[in-house]
Every structure is written in structure tokens, then in C-alpha cells.
């Protein structure tokens, strides 16, 4: 029983040592590949545009004003996409 | 149409066809048990088996299985702590199950003759849409109508509001679409490439060794992507959770 205790304490200190040495050199080891980053940006811009156009088409079919809202929301969607890309790119730079 | 095409050796899309195993209908709603649901069940059982096997003997000096289980736990716990903070602990069960399910679905899809659940937009959008609804509801519960201030960034002059607010709302609505398309597109593209390369091996006869080498490399990359996409899906969920809990725009 006593031998187990000292063994455990030994192990504990060894784990702590190993952990502190690991922490120094890799805190974030998962990084998306360049292609992954590009895909991420592409998806952001396309998704925002698609949502914009979808809202526009819905409003147009509701109010019978085709193509007024489709055009307006396409432009808004594109701006939202660029805004998204800008934000993602900024967070990528911070990492 | 799918049945005719199955004779064609190189049909990279055929692997994504959904077939019914047992027909179930409630009213007009078709809830048949398909191969997709079958592999969802398999993934869930695999996760359960993984943790039961790994944690059956809780020893102080763990064996490999137990280390894998504990690593996956710590990995998600760290992710939540760094991205959401202490408040995120309440959502650990949800985020952990989400990550494990997507990860296992992706991995099981890589086994030949199996089916990739996450390659279907319906499945990934169901995930992302439910997360989106849940996070939005949470944001309103935690912050009341102050959550709407997220759509009007501070420091923007008032005459810009009619433009900025729709843009911010569209940007917010595009989140679940971007989230689900990313996962679906990665899985679809990866599995199609694998199938096409496998077709080259058969077509080229002896020289099929060359695409075979490529296939091995792509397979390794796909295994990494299976993990990476599950990770990205989870980390984005954490970021959205954080936005709902502490909106600071």
C-alpha cells in the first residue's frame, strides 16, 4: 500500500513534467490546409449570396415585384459574403 | 436510374444513392429505414462500443483504448473552455456527442462498401439548422432583446443602419448554410475522388500501380479530412455558442 502511494506520487510529478514540456512547443497543432482555408472562404461568400437571393426571390413572389427585391438582396447578400470573408480572414490572421 | 447505372464501373456518384431497407410510412410522411439511417445507427453503436470498451477497466495507468477515450474527452473540453469559457461547460454533452457522431460517420464512411451519412446536404443541414435554431433561442433567452444589438455593430453611424442591418442579418442567416455545405462538400468531393482513382486502377491494368499509390495518399488525406471537418463543425458550433452567450458587437 505504501509502495503504491509513492509510486503514484512519482507518476504524478512525471506527468506534470511531461505536460509542461508539451505545452511549451505545441498549443495548437491542428491547422487547416491551405486548400481548406480557401474552401472555407469560398463557402462563406457563396452561402451569403444564396441566402440573399433566396430572401429576394421569396419577397418578390410574395409582393409580386419581380425582380426588384431579388436584385436588392443579391447585392446585400454579396456584401454580407464579403463581410463574412473579411471576418474569417481576420480571425485566420490572428491565429 | 440508379439500378441501371450500377453496372457502370466508374460511377462516382452511385455510392451516395439512398436505398430503402424497410418501408415505414406514418400518414403521408415517409420515414423509411434507409441505408443512411442504418449507418447512423452503426455510428452510434460504434461510439457506444468505443467508450464501453475503453472505460470498462478504469485503471490509473490506462491502456491505449482508455487513453483514446480520455483524449477525446479532454480535446472537446479544451475546445469548449478556450472558445466559450466556463459557461460552456453546460453544453459539453451536446458538443461532445455532436463531434463524436460526425467524426464516426466520416470515419465509417471511409470503409469500403459503407455509406457516408455526412455526404448528404439533408443530414448536415439538419444538424446545422438545429444548431442555428438552438443557438438563436439561447441567445434570446440569455440576453433578451439585447441579442438583436448583434445586428447593429457599435460605432456605425445611424444613416448606415438601413444597409448594415440587412447585411448583418443575411450574414447571420448564412451561417448554417455555410456550415452544412462545407461538411457536405468535403465529404462528397473526397469520396468521389477516391472512387474515380479506384476506377483508374482497374482501367490501367498493370500500370494501375501508379493511381494505386495516389489512392493510398488520398486515403490518408481523407482520413485527416474526416477528423478536420468534424473538428471545424464543432469549433464553429462553439463559436456560435459563444456569440449567443456573450454578444459583444
Residue B100 is predicted with a pLDDT of: 95
> Domain ranges in chain A?
2-94
Nearest residue of A to residue B189 by CA position? A39
This model of the complex carries an ipTM of 0.74
Q: For residues B135 and B144, what is the distance between their CA atoms, to the nearest angstrom?
A: 13
Give the range of the structural domain holding residue B31, as residue numbers without chain letter.
Answer: 2-245
Q: For residues A89 and B43, what is the distance between their CA atoms, to the nearest angstrom?
A: 34
Beta bridge pairs of residue B30: B25
* DSSP-assigned letter for residue B28: T
% residues pLDDT > 90 (chain A):
36
Residue closest to B194 by CA, chosen among B121, B119, B102: B119
User: Which set of grid coordinates corresponds to residue B6?
Assistant: 450500377
> Chain A contact for B177, CB < 8 A?
yes
Residue B133 is predicted with a pLDDT of: 96
Q: For residues B122 and B100, what is the distance between their CA atoms, to the nearest angstrom?
A: 19
Residue B97 is predicted with a pLDDT of: 95
For cell 433561442, name the residue.
Answer: B137
Whether the pLDDT of residue A71 is over 90: the answer is yes
Residue A32 is predicted with a pLDDT of: 63
Residue B5 is predicted with a pLDDT of: 44
In chain B, which residues have their Cβ closer than 8 Å to the Cβ of A32? 228, 232
> Chain A contact for B52, CB < 8 A?
no
Phi and psi at B25, nearest 5°, equal: -135, 130
Higher pLDDT, B3 or A88: A88
Interface test with A, best of B178, B226, B242, B249 (most A CBs within 10 A): B178
The contact set of A with B (CB < 8 A) is 8, 11, 30, 32, 36, 39-40, 43-44, 46-48, 50-52, 55, 73, 76-77, 79-81, 83-84
Beta bridge pairs of residue B20: B34
Read off the pLDDT band of B124 (50, 70, 90).
very high
- pTM of this structure: 0.84
Q: What is the pLDDT of residues B63-91, one digit of tens each?
A: 888 889 989 999 999 999 988 888 888 99
- Split into its structural domains, chain B has a count of 1
In chain B, which residues have their Cβ closer than 8 Å to the Cβ of A44? 174, 178
Whether the pLDDT of residue A15 is over 90: the answer is no
Higher pLDDT, A46 or B27: A46
Interface test with A, best of B76, B169, B174 (most A CBs within 10 A): B174
Amino acid at each position: 500500500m505504501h509502495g503504491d502511494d509513492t509510486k503514484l506520487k512519482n507518476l504524478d510529478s512525471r506527468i506534470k513534467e511531461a505536460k509542461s514540456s508539451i505545452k511549451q512547443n505545441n498549443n495548437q497543432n491542428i491547422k487547416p490546409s491551405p486548400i481548406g482555408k480557401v474552401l472555407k472562404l469560398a463557402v462563406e461568400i457563396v452561402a451569403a449570396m444564396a441566402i440573399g437571393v433566396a430572401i429576394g426571390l421569396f419577397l418578390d413572389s410574395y409582393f409580386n415585384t419581380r425582380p426588384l427585391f431579388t436584385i436588392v438582396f443579391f447585392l446585400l447578400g454579396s456584401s454580407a459574403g464579403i463581410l463574412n470573408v473579411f471576418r474569417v480572414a481576420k480571425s485566420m490572421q490572428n491565429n | 436510374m440508379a439500378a441501371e447505372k450500377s453496372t457502370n464501373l466508374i460511377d462516382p456518384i452511385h455510392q451516395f444513392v439512398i436505398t430503402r431497407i424497410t418501408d415505414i410510412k406514418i400518414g403521408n410522411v415517409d420515414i423509411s429505414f434507409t441505408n443512411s439511417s442504418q449507418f447512423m445507427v452503426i455510428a452510434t453503436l460504434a461510439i457506444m462500443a468505443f467508450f464501453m470498451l475503453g472505460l470498462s477497466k478504469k485503471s490509473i495507468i490506462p491502456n491505449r483504448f482508455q487513453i483514446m477515450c480520455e483524449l477525446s474527452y479532454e480535446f472537446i473540453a479544451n475546445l469548449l473552455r478556450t472558445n466559450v469559457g466556463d459557461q460552456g461547460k453546460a453544453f459539453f454533452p451536446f458538443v461532445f456527442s455532436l463531434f463524436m457522431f460526425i467524426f464516426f460517420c466520416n470515419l465509417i464512411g471511409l470503409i469500403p462498401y459503407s455509406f457516408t451519412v455526412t455526404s448528404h446536404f439533408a443530414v448536415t443541414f439538419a444538424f446545422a439548422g438545429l444548431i442555428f435554431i438552438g443557438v438563436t433561442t439561447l441567445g434570446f433567452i440569455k440576453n433578451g432583446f439585447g441579442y438583436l444589438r448583434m445586428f447593429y455593430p457599435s460605432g456605425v453611424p445611424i444613416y448606415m443602419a438601413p444597409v448594415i442591418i440587412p447585411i448583418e442579418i443575411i450574414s447571420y442567416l448564412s451561417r448554417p448554410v455555410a456550415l452544412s455545405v462545407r461538411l457536405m462538400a468535403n465529404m462528397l468531393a473526397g469520396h468521389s475522388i477516391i472512387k474515380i482513382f479506384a476506377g483508374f486502377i482497374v482501367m490501367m491494368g498493370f500500370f494501375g500501380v501508379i493511381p494505386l499509390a495516389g489512392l493510398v495518399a488520398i486515403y490518408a488525406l481523407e482520413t485527416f479530412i474526416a477528423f478536420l471537418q468534424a473538428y471545424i463543425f464543432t469549433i464553429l458550433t462553439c463559436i456560435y455558442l459563444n456569440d449567443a452567450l456573450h454578444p459583444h458587437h
